[in-house]
Amino acid sequence: MKRLFVVLVSVMLTVSMFAGQAKYVFYFIGDGMGPAEVLATQYYLSQKKGELGITPLCFATFPFTAYATSYSASSDVTDSSAAGTALASGCKINNGVVGLLPDGETRLYTVANWAKAAGKSVGITTSVGVNHATPASFYGYRPSRNDYYELGVQLTESGFDFFAGGDFIKPTRDDEPSHYELAEKAGYQIVRGYDEYQAKKNVGKPIILLQKEGRGDNIPYAIDAKDDDLRLDQIVTAAIEQLSKNKKGFFLMCEGGKIDYGGHANDAAACFGDVIAMDDAVKVAYEFYKKHPKETLIVITADHETGGLALTGGSYSINTGVLQYQKVSKHGFSEVLNKLRHDKKDKVEWADVKAALTENFGFWREVKISHDDEMALYDEWYHSFQTNEKVKMAESLYYRDEPLSDLAVKVMARCAKIIWPVGSHSGIYVPVFAIGAGAEQFTGQIDNTDIPKKIAKAAGYKVKQFK
């Protein structure tokens, strides 16, 4: 009888230990997505409908929330590689480095490695280059995040099961083998675009899903995307299909990488459009969660905030609803202006530019602009198109833009009554949202290095940080 009791208790203990373990983990990282970007997007969704208040994003409704500090080993304001490494490995490192401790030598293991060691399938996905800082932080280790060639090589050596993103950044170097050759040699199948993925999804090899040929190394902003551009929600759909083949479960990291590009460019319509695009990808994960609620964990966070976005124009109102009339990103409008230059053989009149501004920003039609802003736009047209002086391009981290496009987006921000004080990162908290098995760990003030450890605890991974 006593022995039976002992057996029963140990069976019950084992069951309770494994009940609710996160067999499936979704880890979303909105690059540059601080609390203001999340909230402003929700104000925007309401104002678009002519209402005050917020229309919640799917992930903002998740029951557990925390604020995470994100300072790195070298600065209170982190960059994406130090933050990505903290979110991946649970260790703080110096800005600009990927996967190596400040001693410059000790290589870090990541939650993706821990998941793999636990027998799970692993997917690393993004809307930017597959060897850009955030995705690389999950498989790579280099003294500089700009070592794109080496990081791409490390991707092909990772042994992970699924990758997706825009493309490899700098896939070739001198006469060394390209990332594509190395990937194929390592047994990966490269698939371009969602159509080709549909046709080849059962090839039986691990897949690297990229944009169609010739479309650059990152997926366009949602605001600029064509119908056949790859989308983050398609990437998560494909990742689930591929990774669920393993009956032991999976770990999937998905980065909304262009939110940060929008922040660096101080382009609210582009930035918020990509917050919504990531939320659409979260919705795919949430549908999966609803089918496996006891065995799925979804965590959404950011690596840092970008642009220092302030939800005030200096008066007691914001007006983000006007952003619905912006039809292209700042960079997209630079291309519109370039085309005008080309088509009009350098004889671009104010009426042409005014028509393009109305078409792409709603100025003078749906969006009223001040006399001062109109004069500033006129002056910039004169300067850019009527004088022979060399046009000084507006530089942000990822783009060089026409100054008139830069100014149009600044006018848009004034109309929306929001302020972007800087074009770099800020040191504000990053938000954390969680639902599912183990989600109750994500509350209060935590540090970004706690997040992968909490995921490991929820999923039963063994934490091994150093190689």
Distance CA 152, CA 123 (A): 15
What is the 3-state secondary structure of 95-119? CCCECECCCCCCEECCHHHHHHHCC
Q: Which is nearer to Zn ion, 229 or 260 (CB)?
A: 260
Q: Helix, strand, coil shares of the chain as percentages rounded to 5?
A: 45, 15, 40
The least distance separating Zn ion from the CB of residue 98, rounded to whole angstroms, comes to 14
Give me 439's structure tokens: 């989600």
Q: For residues 313-352, which are near Zn ion according to CB under 5 A?
A: none
Q: Which residue, 260 or 295, has its beta carbon nearer to Zn ion?
A: 260
Q: How far is the CB of 257 from Zn ion (least distance, A)?
A: 9
Among residues 234 and 266, whose Cβ is nearest to Zn ion? 266
Answer yes or no whether residue 450 interacts with Zn ion by CB under 5 A: no
Segment contacting Zn ion by CB under 5 A, of 175-183, 199-207, 259-267, 439-447: 259-267
The angle at the Cα of 129, spanning 256 to 396, to the nearest 5 degrees, equals 75
Report, in Å, the least distance between residue 177 CB and Zn ion: 30
CB of 38 to Zn ion, least distance (A): 17
Separation CA 54–CA 372 (nearest Å): 31
| 173/127 Cα distance (integer angstroms) | 23
Of 72 and 360, CB closest to Zn ion? 72
Residue with smaller CB distance to Zn ion, 87 or 191: 87
- Let me know if 389 is exposed, middle or buried by CB neighbors in 10 A (0-12, 13-18, 19+): exposed
Asked if 260 interacts with Zn ion (CB under 5 A), we say yes
Q: Which stretch binds Zn ion (CB under 5 A): 21-29, 48-56, 209-217, 253-261?
A: 253-261
Please, what is the Cα angle at 274 between 25 and 400, to 5 degrees?
125
Closest contact distance (angstroms) between CB of 253 and Zn ion is: 17
CA count, 13 A, side-chain hemisphere, 385: 26
Nearer to Zn ion, 83 or 111 (CB): 83
User: Which residue's entry shows tokens 């840092």?
Assistant: 304
CB of 80 to Zn ion, least distance (A): 5
Sort strands 430-436 and 24-32 into parallel, antiparallel or unpaired: unpaired
Distance CA 160, CA 162 (A): 6
**CB-nearer residue toward Zn ion: 305 or 380:** 305
- Minimum CB distance to Zn ion smaller for 255 or for 260: 260
The residue (of 132 and 410) whose beta carbon lies closer to Zn ion is: 132
Per rule CB under 5 A, count of chain residues that contact Zn ion:
1
Return the residue nearest Zn ion (CB atom).
260
Going by the DSSP 8-state scheme, the letter that residue 382 receives in this structure is I
Q: Find the shortest distance in angstroms from Cβ 425 to Zn ion.
A: 6
| Per-position x/- string for 408-447, each x denoting binding to Zn ion as judged by CB under 5 A, each - no binding | ----------------------------------------
Q: Which stretch binds Zn ion (CB under 5 A): 212-220, 257-265, 321-329, 430-438?
A: 257-265
Residue 192 falls in which region: left (phi positive, over 0), alpha (psi -120 to 50) or beta: beta
Using CA atoms, how far apart are residues 226 and 167, in angstroms rounded to an integer? 17
The gap between the terminal CA atoms of the chain, to the nearest Å, is 48
Kind of pairing between the strands at 250-256 and 24-32: parallel
In the complex, least distance from residue 67 CB atom to Zn ion, rounded to whole angstroms: 20
* Minimum separation from the CB atom of position 32 to Zn ion (A): 5
- What number of other Cβ atoms are within 10 A of residue 386's Cβ? 13
Name the one range near Zn ion by CB under 5 A: 173-181, 254-262, 349-357, 452-460.
254-262
Residue 305 interacts with Zn ion (CB under 5 A): yes or no: no
SS3 219: coil
- The binding site for Zn ion (CB under 5 A) comprises 260
